Amino acid sequence: MRSAHTVAQVRAAEEELLAVLPDGALMQRAATGLAYAVIDLLRGAYGRRVLLLVGAGNNGGDALHAGAVLARRGALVDAHLLSDRVHEAGLAALRSAGGRVVCPTTRHGASSGTRPGRAGTYDVVVDGIVGIGGTPGLRPDVVAALERVAGVPVVAVDTPSGVGVDTGELAGPHVRAALTVTFGTLKPCHLVDPAAAACGSVHLVDIGLALPPAPVEALQPDDVARLLPRPAPDAHKYTRGVVGVRAGSTQYPGAALLSVAGAASGLAGMVRYAGPGEVGARVRAAHPEVVGEGRVQAWVVGSGGGDGAGAELAAAFADELSGPVPVVVDADALAHVSGPLPAPAVLTPHAGELARMSGVDRAEVEAAPLRHVREAADRFESVVLLKGRHTLIAEPGGRVRATTTGLPWLATAGAGDVLGGLIGALLAAGLDCFDAASVGSWLHGAAATLASDGGPLVAGDVARAIPAAVRGLPG
């Protein structure tokens, strides 16, 4: 599991560690990890030209100490000081190693070791401007400094300056990094868009922090392998779970085919289709293993349901042969959700659908997806999966998982229908709503990556690649 901790959690853990470490040891750990990440990016240090953009906080100190490491390895390192107060020990270390100050501020003046900058000739810029305690947005002078090196790859220290660290939100100018080197743990902005898109690749440096459970997580292949339901030696089709699909209509029969394709990917023992009869004939022609109505352990409702989606959702919630049956509520069925639901549920909106459910503009959801998905999970007392570049899955109370698998080619019609069916199969196989949604989203993205192989794909390709994504899991 990749865990993303809040600023408050990180600071508390750092305070505990600082109490037992020699002075400066924690910063040296971070700076050394940062320096070697820059070296890896540049494929060497000797002769490389590095510009440090240095602010007043500890991130500036990390950048200065890393600059000293790079200078000792033969890099030509300049530091542009963007504050009258910078980390003095870091600045001394940089100058001692042969680094220089350019564009000095008043306090540090035109002292020995300054020189004009080499704007436009740097190989990399290190963003040590604002630490994790900074607020979104940047000062005009900082924006001007960044504009002078536009086009040069940026390595962000801990987080790109100007992003909302705990929220993943953006408000005004911010750094867009090619690489972000973070310390101890990820922060929410590394996983949550729109800020995550500004982080580039993220490299985590272990500095020995002892951390509590994180509010935002991202599953990794080992986690998916551990959570994935697998058949017992004595399993039969009923013990493996039966998933029912109430999707499609005469107007949108393809949605039924794709929902069933996701459900019938082999992760549950049986799939039942309970939609319109003429659509059912097409479903069974394409998927002869699918059977008619009967007892199920989970329902998938809404994709392509049109005007009948409300009635289908009510029918799914009325299915209580052995207690409330969990339901995946997708697409057209989402329009019939206005409050807490009578059974465990996974709601699967995209930003536009969640905006309509929440009574806000789509742009508001896209600007603050973490906040809106959490609010929706609490409001509807259900797991909410908000589709996006990094899909977010929230359960009531604020716990969130972010999906980082997938690729842009996955933005294709019908892909969400496949996802709904896949999550339904995992529910029927025994996972709870939060795990089914997050494992299903992860597998959906992994299958799309396999099916794409770097090129375009359609939704049916994703469904067909789900077994290969499962086979590729460790263990």
- Give percent of the chain with pLDDT exceeding 90: 93
H or E element that contains 157: strand 154-157
475 — pLDDT class (breaks 50, 70, 90): confident
- Over residues 325-345, the mean pLDDT reads 97
105 — pLDDT class (breaks 50, 70, 90): very low
pLDDT at 115: 56
Distance CA 161, CA 418 (A): 38
Classify residue 464 as exposed, middle or buried by CB count within 10 Å of its CB (0-12, 13-18, 19+): middle
For residues 116 and 59, which has the higher predicted lDDT (pLDDT)? 59
Contact indicator for 292, 274 with CB cutoff of 8 Å: yes
Task: Give Cα 264 distance to the centre of its chain.
Answer: 27
pLDDT at 112: 40
Among 55, 111, 63, which Cα is nearest to 84's?
A: 55
Is the pLDDT at 108 greater than 70, yes or no? Answer: no
Which pTM value belongs to this model?
A: 0.95
Is the pLDDT at 111 greater than 70, yes or no? Answer: no
Is the pLDDT at 323 greater than 80, yes or no? Answer: no
Q: How far is CA 128 from CA 7, 34, 142, 280, in A?
A: 17, 11, 11, 60
- Over residues 416-437, the mean pLDDT reads 98
Sign of the Cα pseudo-torsion (153, 159, 163, 169, in order)? positive
pLDDT at 322: 57
pLDDT at 185: 98
H or E element that contains 92: helix 88-96
List of E strands, 302-421: 327-329, 345-347, 383-386, 392-394, 400-402
351 — pLDDT class (breaks 50, 70, 90): very high
For the chain, what is the mean pLDDT? 95
Is the pLDDT at 338 greater than 50, yes or no? Answer: yes
pLDDT at 118: 54
Distance CA 63, CA 31 (A): 7
Among 114, 143, 121, 135, which Cα is nearest to 53's?
A: 143
Among 333, 382, 368, 379, which Cα is nearest to 353's?
A: 333
Sign of the Cα pseudo-torsion (288, 294, 300, 304, in order)? positive
Domains delineated in the chain: 2-215 (3.40.50.10260), 221-471 (3.40.1190.20)
286 — pLDDT class (breaks 50, 70, 90): very high
- Over residues 165-180, the mean pLDDT reads 97
Contact indicator for 415, 334 with CB cutoff of 8 Å: no
Contact indicator for 37, 200 with CB cutoff of 8 Å: no
Choice among 132-146, 182-196, 312-326 with the minimum mean pLDDT: 312-326
R_g over Cα of the chain: 26
Distance CA 171, CA 164 (A): 8
| Helix 415-428 / helix 459-471 crossing angle, nearest 10 deg | 40
Is the pLDDT at 349 greater than 80, yes or no? Answer: yes
Residue 30 is encoded by which pair of tokens? 């971070």
pLDDT at 313: 97
Instruction: Report pLDDT digits (tens) over 198-240.
Output: 999 999 999 999 999 999 999 999 999 999 999 999 999 999 9
Helix (H, G, I), strand (E, B) or coil at 401: strand
Is the pLDDT at 320 greater than 80, yes or no? Answer: no
| Length of the chain measured in residues | 475
| Helix 58-72 / helix 88-96 crossing angle, nearest 10 deg | 10
409: phi > 0 → left, psi -120 to 50 → alpha, else beta; which? alpha
